[in-house]
């Protein structure tokens, strides 16, 4: 535990501090635990999987999306990675400097930039992603086998509700 307050302590304190307001505490618990979990898992991955390769979280996500959709259009990468196109410009420059990806102009549409992985980038993902997945298994392990599908579905539903 990083802080000095447990999750239970915090939620109890919150309920007490805000008892005079008309609030939906269950919705608050879901939202708050969503961010806590995402943040904890991300930090865990950064420390245990990404730190050796010198990749930031976002750089890894961009690399992963490119790996899946290669050759990938930058507008799609930004959308899939959940970052702005301005941010992507900088991250792609970093990845190019590391010689993991290559940018190229589309011949069909001069506005578009296509991104592909270098051989070095492919090799990295080929070893990095299985290691990443092993940590995913570790992280999800406290959720019972037969409830993981439900969990993914509920998270999908929340995303769809917002982006839908």
Interface contacts to a copy of itself, rule CB under 8 A: 1-5, 7, 10, 13-14, 17-18, 21-24, 26-31, 33-44, 67-69, 75-76, 79-80, 82, 129-130, 133, 136-137, 139-143, 147-152, 154-164
Residues 105-124 touching DNA, rule: CB under 7 A, are 108-113
Q: How many CB atoms lie within 10 A of CB 66?
A: 26
Distance, first Cα to last Cα, the chain: 36
Whether the Cβ atoms of residue 124 and residue 52 lie closer than 8 Å to each other = no
Q: Which does 112 bind (CB under 5 to 8 A by kind): DNA, a copy of itself, none?
A: DNA
Residues 42-61 touching DNA, rule: CB under 7 A, are 43, 46-47, 56-59
Measured CA to CA in angstroms, residue 82 lies from 33, 87, 97, 150, 161 at distances of: 20, 10, 22, 23, 16
Q: Counting contacts by CB under 7 A, is residue 82 touching DNA?
A: yes
Q: Which does 12 bind (CB under 5 to 8 A by kind): DNA, a copy of itself, none?
A: none
In this structure, the dihedral spanned by the alpha carbons of residues 145, 151, 152 and 153, taken in order and rounded to 10 degrees, is: 120
Q: Which residues bind DNA (CB under 7 A)?
A: 43, 46-47, 56-59, 73-75, 78, 82-92, 94, 103, 108-113
């Amino acid at each position: 535990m990083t802080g000095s307050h447990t999750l239970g302590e915090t939620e109890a304190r919150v309920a007490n501090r805000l008892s005079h307001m008309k609030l939906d505490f269950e919705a608050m618990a879901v939202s708050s635990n969503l961010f806590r979990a995402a943040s904890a898992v991300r930090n865990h991955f950064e420390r245990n999987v990404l730190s050796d390769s010198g990749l930031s979280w976002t750089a890894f996500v961009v690399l992963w999306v490119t790996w899946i959709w290669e050759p990938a259009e930058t507008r799609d990468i930004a959308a899939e990675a959940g970052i702005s196109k301005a941010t992507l410009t900088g991250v792609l420059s970093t990845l190019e400097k590391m010689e993991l990806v290559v940018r190229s102009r589309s011949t069909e549409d001069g506005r578009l930039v296509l991104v592909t992985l270098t051989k070095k980038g492919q090799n990295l993902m080929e070893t990095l992603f299985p290691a990443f997945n092993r940590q995913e298994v570790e992280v999800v392990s406290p959720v019972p086998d037969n409830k993981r599908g439900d969990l993914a579905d509920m998270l999908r539903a929340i995303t769809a509700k917002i982006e839908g």
